[in-house]
Structure 1
Amino acid sequence: MRMKLPELKDVTSRFQFIQSCVALSGCLFVSYAVWTPFWLRDGGLWTEWNNTKGDRDRDVLTFNALEAERVFGVLAFLLALSTGALSMVFALCWTSETVRSYSNTRSLLMAGQALYPTTLLLLTMVSTGFFFLLTWSIFTYQHAEEICQDFSLLGSSYWLGALGWILLLVVEVIIFIAEQAIVPDILQDLEKAVDSWRVTTRSNRSFSDGCAQIASGKRNLAPKRYTSVP
């Protein structure tokens, strides 16, 4: 597939472009939040927070929560990379002619269902948003007391991260549901396309067979040259 300008000529392509933009924005916000230290008082996921209470059990729980939020953050970042790449492909390379290619149409009809690009985007976006939501929730729970005392301590990483998982989990699901209600099923169009291809193929074969028979008849009717025997 070659890179092209976004195709916005029908409802399907518009929904696909909107979801690609939402996916790319959400992935950028998630990636920014994971690797920047502006969560709380210039500290982030990779900051070593000091526990002044000296409770051993609390220290263990804090360490486990810190490791968990980092692991989920890295998973969210890796998924964000793949989701961002998919959104770029579907926005700039995937057109209405791609899904209607003969090989793709034949595979879809054999499977009995069409896998839309937006369906694949939904799966990857929801996975990315879910893992980052775990990271964001654990961090919020660990620092709930400080956050409740002064919301101004929260930085851009925290708020952009929240916007990221909202785009990936909430906004994307709303757009996908609206697409399913508005965009018609493509399988009927694909079946009509396959029928037209079959008719065209049969007519071309009939024409080719007729031309071959005519050519064979002309060769049989052509005068034969005899050589005289001395």
Structure 2
Amino acid sequence: MRLLLVEDDNHVAAALSAVLARHGFDVVHARNGEEALHSVLPASHPGKPPFGVILLDLGLPDLDGYQVCGRLRKITSTPVIMVTARSDIRSRIHGLNLGADDYVVKPYDTGELLARIHAVSRRNPSADDLAGEVGNALTLGTVTIELPTRRVSVGGESVQLTRKEFDLLALLAQRPGVVFRREQIISEVWHTSWEGTGRTLEVHVASLRSKLRMPALIETVRGVGYRLVAPTA
């Protein structure tokens, strides 16, 4: 898999590139935001397959990492993992709202990073199967989830979700009122049993509540998991 590493520290980039290469990744290193944006254009690497994942450090010398993520989302659907020392929940939600698929806080374990790379690079088979069902949509009060086109609207107004946000919402919406265990959600949406993904799940739930402007839509069942509470029309 080709991977774009956006990192301004050459020493960090060299060490990480060596580790990733040992695990079978073809790493392209971009040293700043503009170089990263240029790298994702097909004309920049003629004859090469598109990137499978983008690792985006937020502390770049020319552009703010959040700005780079927002611009990347306008030109590519490649999964983006933000890598930063900013660990507060607001920063994570902001990154996810801009289109990031995951968020890794420094310092991180290499095994953790590799697990997250593999997790975001996988497509959700159940979501893909649903997308093939023409005309399939879920209506829950004012919320409409169009499975074939992966579109979500609230009261007729479109809401932009990331791939994993949509997969999470679609999963919960299949059985409103039923509690999905955290382990089950992580397995079906992220295709991993790795416990560290639990924090990512929490961030995605918080982001969904914020984007849909329905804090009560997804209910936390303490010690168990989450369930979707269908809103009234």
Same topology, TM > 0.5? no
TM range (shorter): under 0.3
Q: RCO higher in 1 or 2 (8 Å CA, sep ≥ 6)?
A: 1
- The structure with the greater share of residues assigned to strand is 2
Query: Computing the radius of gyration over CA atoms, which structure comes out larger, 1 or 2?
Result: 1
Under a length normalisation based on structure 1, what TM-score does the superposition of the two structures give? 0.24
